[in-house]
Amino acid sequence: MGLLDGRVAAVTGAGNGIGRGVALALAAAGAAVVVNDYGVGVDGRQPSRGPAEAVVGEIAARGGRAVASVESVATMAGGQAVIDAALAAFGDLHILVCCAGILRERMIFNMSEEEWDAVLAVHLKGHFAVMRPATRHMRERRYGRIVTFTSTAGLEGSPGQPNYSAAKAGIVGLTRSTALAMAKYGVTVNTISPEAETRMTERLPDTRRAQVAGAAAPPEAVAPVVVFLASDRAAHVTGQILHVRGDRVGVWSHPAPLRTAVRDGGWTPEALADVYDRVLGQDRLRRLDALRIPWPPAAGS
């Protein structure tokens, strides 16, 4: 007996990397799987049916059930088609995992509108495009498991990836909002922040890639966490950020106030400046230290 016997799952971005590992693991646990992948390169260009169909072949060769979906989740029609494929092929949908993503790296002062829009469309809109029809179905069935994918770039920032960081931060907000909306229907919604060697990490600058690779794992290592979240063993877990790094799984905190200052009669800029460092201070950006960026800058620099 597998943890997911009789379940139907749809996985976006399942033709390569983490998505491929997730699709294979869900099938191994007993789920029938819609393998969605637009078949593009990391930059989102040159679509192909090959990656999705190859993973379907792998699942079938191992005795599992799967169908390919090659629609782009950057459109609402494409997202709906992924869910429709599950219903047409297997008659239901219990699990949705959103792994699809592309990269267009550039510093913010050099980034074009097209580079911004393309990444937001695949990552953030791509989550919404499949989650909207999936949640409609799951609400009717009063059952469902949704697993989204964020990144430390979305949680902590990444200087050369403002579009990707913004999209991944948005996915956290979307996850929490959807978890609240779907709780009364028995649907869980969680997000994973992975560190694994994939096509995307190969494009990182050498210093950043070294930080990731030092504790990262093959993309398949993230899959057991997804299978757990997709199973009834995790029916009580929702609205969480799980960080998967190598052999470690961690739960990240939700934002909460650190310190508060109150002044009778309200604040003036001068009054706030007088007490800010002593009463409020800062929640330091951890990546300033990881990237060896001195802050505050030296006088005169």
- Residues 275, 261 contacting (CB under 8 angstroms): yes
Cα separation, 231 vs 198, in Å, equals 25
295 within a domain of the structure (yes/no):
no
281 within a domain of the structure (yes/no):
no
Which residues lie across from 9 on neighbouring strands? 33, 95
Concatenated DSSP letters of 45-81 = -S--SHHHHHHHHHHHHTT--EEEE---TTSHHHHHH
Band (pLDDT 50/70/90 cuts) for residue 287 is confident
Residues near 180 by Cβ (< 8 Å), separated by ≥ 6? 239
278 within a domain of the structure (yes/no):
no
What is the value of pTM for the model shown? 0.91
84 within a domain of the structure (yes/no):
yes
- The domain of 213 spans 8-252
Q: Which CATH number belongs to the domain containing residue 95 in this structure? A: 3.40.50.720
Cα separation, 42 vs 69, in Å, equals 18
Cα separation, 203 vs 200, in Å, equals 6
Q: Mean pLDDT over residues 156-181, rounded?
A: 97
40 within a domain of the structure (yes/no):
yes
Cα separation, 293 vs 214, in Å, equals 20
300 within a domain of the structure (yes/no):
no
274 within a domain of the structure (yes/no):
no
Residues taking part in catalysis = 164
- 131-149 pLDDT tens trace: 999 999 999 999 999 999 9
Q: Is the peptide bond before 47 cis (omega within 30 degrees of 0)?
A: no
The full 3-state SS of 30-54, as one line of letters, equals CCEEEEECCCCCCCCCCCCCHHHHH
- Record the tokens describing residue 252, joined without a space: 């990240």
282 within a domain of the structure (yes/no):
no
Residues near 174 by Cβ (< 8 Å), separated by ≥ 6? 124, 127, 128, 131, 148
- 76-107 pLDDT tens trace: 999 999 999 999 999 999 999 999 999 999 99
Cα separation, 119 vs 43, in Å, equals 9
Q: Mean pLDDT over residues 191-220, rounded?
A: 63
**pLDDT exceeds cutoff 60 at 171:** yes
Side chain identity at residue 190, one-letter code: N
Band (pLDDT 50/70/90 cuts) for residue 213 is very low
CB atoms within 10 A of CB 132: 14
Band (pLDDT 50/70/90 cuts) for residue 216 is low
Q: Collapse the DSSP code of 96 into the 3-class scheme (helix H, G, I; strand E, B; otherwise coil) and give the result.
A: strand
Give the pLDDT of residue 247: 87
Cα separation, 100 vs 133, in Å, equals 17
Give the pLDDT of residue 43: 59
Q: Mean pLDDT over residues 30-43, rounded?
A: 87
Alpha carbon of 267 to those of 258, 259, 274, 279: distances in Å?
19, 16, 11, 14
Instruction: Please tell me the total count of domains within the chain.
Output: 1
